[in-house]
Amino acid sequence: MTAQTPSLRYAWYVVAVLMLAYISSFIDRQVLTLLVKPLKRDFGVTDTQVGLLIGFSFAIFYTFLGIPIGRLADRRSRKSIILWGIVLWSLMTAICGVTDTYSQLFLARVGVGIGEAALSPAAYSMITDLFPRHKLGTAMGIYNLGVYVGSGLSILLVALILKLISVEGMWQVPFFGEIYPWQTVFLIVGAPGLLIVLLIAFTVKEPVRQQTSKAKVEMSEIRAYFSANRFSLLSLFFGIAFMAFSSYATTSWTPTLFVRKYGLAEAQAGLLLGGIITIFSTAGVYFGGRYADKLTKDGYPDAKMRVGYQGMLIGTFLAFSVLAMMVFTSAPLPVFVVLLALICFFTALPYGAATAALQEMVPAPMRATFSAFFLFVVNIVGLGGGPLAVGFINDKIFGDPNQVHLSLACTVLLGCGVSCLLLYRGLKPFIRSTENARLAVN
């Protein structure tokens, strides 16, 4: 008992540090959501181009490079991979602040995505090696708090910065010349990542990998395992991808909705949405992980998948309520805010449980690789599709910038509904896959 306590205490410390890195990555990733108005004004872009910039530009290499990086993390030092990733995404975020054109900003965002691709596959694998199964849901839930704390803080930070600076005119920056004042946001949020590099470098050790009958596996074995478990894996991958589809759409376009429909200033919109995400989404992902661990202890073999299905079922009903309210009533701001807070809570429930579910579904030597496949699907559908879908629907279907509330409500309802169906369909196959994973390592 005494020997185990320091080990668990250290494990929680590692989770906390990795969560800080995840928070930093999401601040850098989501920083554009409050800059839609000055970006459109100064770079002359459409809502569709904004959607591409927020999501697709980042997702291109984030998704495709995640797989080889995950494969590397199953064989090499996961700590080193994470360190190089943080350095790259922090520098590329700062470069976003000195770009002159939409194309340059797009390419810099691609660079941010390349750096961030290194974090989660390696982090999932490290955390799984540090915790017993009955604590893994909570540990993954705490790590995944970074998604929502980072998203919320990015919006809050940008809102506060915009209150302090003028968003018109030009500023002179040494060595780089003139930039727009709103671009300084990128320079400010890029810096903390370099401090996190020092924290990980000097206080975190590479964990000992869990003992298995085979330390390394070939790609042919990974393909064979995927083929034998494809139904459960694809149900989880795409179920969480469509959850992310609705979440990224909400995070990316709600500030614009507040501005266009309710007449709030950008800073007010950011403070309101940032507060909702930081409180309600963070609570959702934490309680999702705790609830999954409780169900596991109570003997539910599909506990971690069940939590996701239940959260998205409630999210679907809430999203339908929002769409109906937007179509048939004047949609008063206080009612919309309450429904939005509930959607943020329930759609965040699946995330911590889902990442823990994946670790149980695959053998230890394959975890980082399958985590990369998982993140590939989640980000190409969620991050690449969610923000883009809202901008596309607004430009091509409604053809009116002031209908963004309807475009967003349709996108969120679609994402929640498809996610709920897929996670429900994956409940029984999930149990079979957990058994297959256990058999594969014995």
**What is the DSSP annotation of 40-103?**
HHHH---HHHHHIIIIIHHHHHHHHHHHHHHHHHTTS-HHHHHHHHHHHHHHHHHHHTT--SHH
Q: How many domains does the chain have?
A: 1
Provide the pLDDT for residue 2. 38
Tell me whether residue 4 is in a domain.
Answer: no
Backbone angles phi, psi at 289, to 5 degrees: -65, -45
Q: Please report whether residue 2 resides in a domain.
A: no
1 is a domain residue: no
Return the pLDDT at 212. 53
Q: What is the reported pTM?
A: 0.76
Domain residues for the domain of 308 are 10-202+214-440
- For residue 62 the two structure tokens come to 């984030």
CA dist., res. 181 & res. 163, Å (int): 12
Whose tokens are 């709920």? That residue is: 420
| CATH number for 361 | 1.20.1250.20
Report the C-alpha gap between 38 and 183 in whole angstroms: 10
Exposure string over 94-111, b if 16+ CB within 10 A, otherwise e: bbbbbbeebeebbebbbb
Give the pLDDT confidence score for residue 4 in this predicted structure: 43
Asked whether residue 3 is assigned to any structural domain, the reply reads no
Alpha helices (H) along 97-164: 102-116, 119-130, 133-143, 145-164
Q: Report how many helices (DSSP H) and strands (DSSP E) the chain contains, helices first.
A: 21, 2
**Quick one: pLDDT at residue 20?**
92
pLDDT score for 6? 42
Report if residue 424 sits inside a domain.
yes
Q: What is the mean pLDDT of each run of 10 residues along the chain (442 residues)?
A: 58 93 85 77 82 77 79 86 93 88 88 88 87 81 83 77 64 72 82 90 86 65 90 94 92 87 83 87 87 86 89 94 83 90 92 82 83 84 85 84 86 94 93 85 56
Cα gap 147→16, rounded to integer Å: 13
**Strand partners for 178:** 172
- The answer as to whether 70 is a domain residue is yes
Report the half-sphere exposure of 187 (CA within 13 A, side-chain side): 12
CA angle 379, 357, 79 (to 5 degrees): 65
Task: Report if residue 209 sits inside a domain.
Answer: no
CA distances 357 to 202, 307, 366, Å, are 31, 10, 14
In terms of Cα–Cα distance, which of 283, 276, 282 is closest to 258?
A: 276
pLDDT for the residue 198: 93
